[in-house]
């Protein structure tokens, strides 16, 4: 039985979306057309986003026209669902540092910073480690890179595999830490405990009784940060190449009937 909170929706379906590359272009703001389509969709089904970034960044991308992002979506899952809202109200959140412990974290971050210092890549900027509530995000070029620098780094990384090699070094150095490494975006990778990928968000809606859960994402290939939730038996996965693709499939599935 789906909660009476959603009794106004004709379909007992939850539709979850990745953010970057699915609802908005990478690190950019979603289009007004996308937000309008989501508002229409919400009249039919329950909607939510599951982003790897923190809520502040996701809000910048999805709060088109000053809207409050946790109110525009029925479920708002930032940091893969470790920070979560249901109908505008916060759910209990999880913490990376509490899980891993200060001592082990210090060893990890020190290794990362030494590794970045020794990296020979064309340019470096700042913020090489971003400490988040549910994960850390590591960027060889640094998170302060401009959009153009990001694009150039992404192309460089595709050829030289800087992030993949970095991840292998971390796996070798910290085999007993129980960490998952996920290369989801253009310039960085996320580090979090096993199981704290996007499927973590599914554990938060398990008891809601939806008849089906759709998931839309662009990094659905093995190693991408949408892979686990896309292939999870609890979801009907849709792999998209950009936000326009998402809109096209939504219209086919929910509006052309």
Separation CA 254–CA 245 (nearest Å): 14
For helices 102-118 and 162-173, the axis angle rounded to 10 degrees is 140
**Binding to ligand M1P by residue 53, rule CB under 6 A?**
yes
Site for ligand M1P in 167-186 (CB under 6 A): 184-186
Taking CB under 6 A as the criterion, the residue among 13, 137, 239, 246 binding ligand M1P is: 137
Report the side by side order of strands in the sheet with 75-78.
Answer: 89-90, 83-86, 75-78, 46-50, 13-17, 212-217, 236-239
Q: Closest separation between CB of residue 189 and ligand M1P, Å?
A: 7
Q: Closest separation between CB of residue 68 and ligand M1P, Å?
A: 21
Q: Which of 167, 175, 172 minimizes the C-alpha distance to 223?
A: 167
Active site residues: 18, 20
Q: Which of 79, 75, 24, 20 minimizes the C-alpha distance to 53?
A: 79
Size of residue set near ligand M1P by CB under 6 A: 15
Strands (E), 208-251: 212-217, 236-239
Site for ligand M1P in 92-111 (CB under 6 A): none
Q: Closest separation between CB of residue 141 and ligand M1P, Å?
A: 9
Do residues 134 and 93 make contact, with C-beta atoms less than 8 angstroms apart?
yes
Taking CB under 6 A as the criterion, the residue among 30, 47, 52, 94 binding ligand M1P is: 52
Site for ligand M1P in 177-236 (CB under 6 A): 184-188, 190, 225
17 beta partners: 49, 216
For ligand M1P, the closer CB: 26 or 34: 26
Do residues 190 and 210 make contact, with C-beta atoms less than 8 angstroms apart?
no
For ligand M1P, the closer CB: 9 or 134: 134
**Binding to ligand M1P by residue 240, rule CB under 6 A?**
no
For ligand M1P, the closer CB: 184 or 208: 184
Separation CA 22–CA 48 (nearest Å): 13
Q: Closest separation between CB of residue 23 and ligand M1P, Å?
A: 10
State the residues that interact with ligand M1P by CB under 6 A: 19-20, 26-27, 51-53, 137, 184-188, 190, 225
């Amino acid at each position: 039985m789906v909660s009476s909170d959603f009794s106004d929706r004709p379909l007992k379906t939850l539709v979850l979306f990745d953010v970057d590359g699915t609802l908005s272009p990478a690190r950019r703001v979603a289009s007004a057309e996308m937000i309008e389509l989501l508002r229409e969709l919400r009249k039919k089904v329950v909607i939510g986003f599951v982003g790897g970034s923190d809520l502040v960044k996701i809000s910048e991308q999805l709060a088109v026209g000053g809207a409050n992002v946790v109110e525009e979506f029925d479920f708002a899952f930032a940091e893969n669902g470790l920070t979560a809202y249901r109908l505008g109200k916060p759910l209990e959140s999880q913490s990376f540092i509490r899980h891993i412990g200060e001592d082990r974290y210090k060893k990890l971050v020190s290794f990362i910073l030494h590794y970045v210092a020794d990296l020979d890549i064309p340019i470096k900027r700042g913020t090489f480690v971003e400490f988040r509530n549910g994960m850390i995000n590591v960027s060889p070029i640094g998170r302060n890179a401009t959009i153009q620098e990001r694009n150039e780094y992404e192309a460089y990384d595709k050829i030289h595999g800087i992030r993949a090699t970095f991840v292998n070094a971390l796996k070798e150095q910290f085999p007993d830490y129980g960490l998952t490494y996920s290369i989801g975006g253009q310039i960085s990778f996320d580090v979090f405990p096993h199981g704290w990928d996007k499927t973590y968000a599914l554990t938060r809606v398990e008891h809601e009784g939806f008849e089906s859960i759709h998931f839309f994402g662009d990094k659905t290939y093995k190693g991408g940060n949408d892979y686990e939730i896309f292939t999870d038996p609890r979801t009907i996965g849709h792999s998209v190449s950009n936000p326009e693709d998402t809109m096209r499939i939504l219209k086919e599935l929910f509006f052309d009937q």
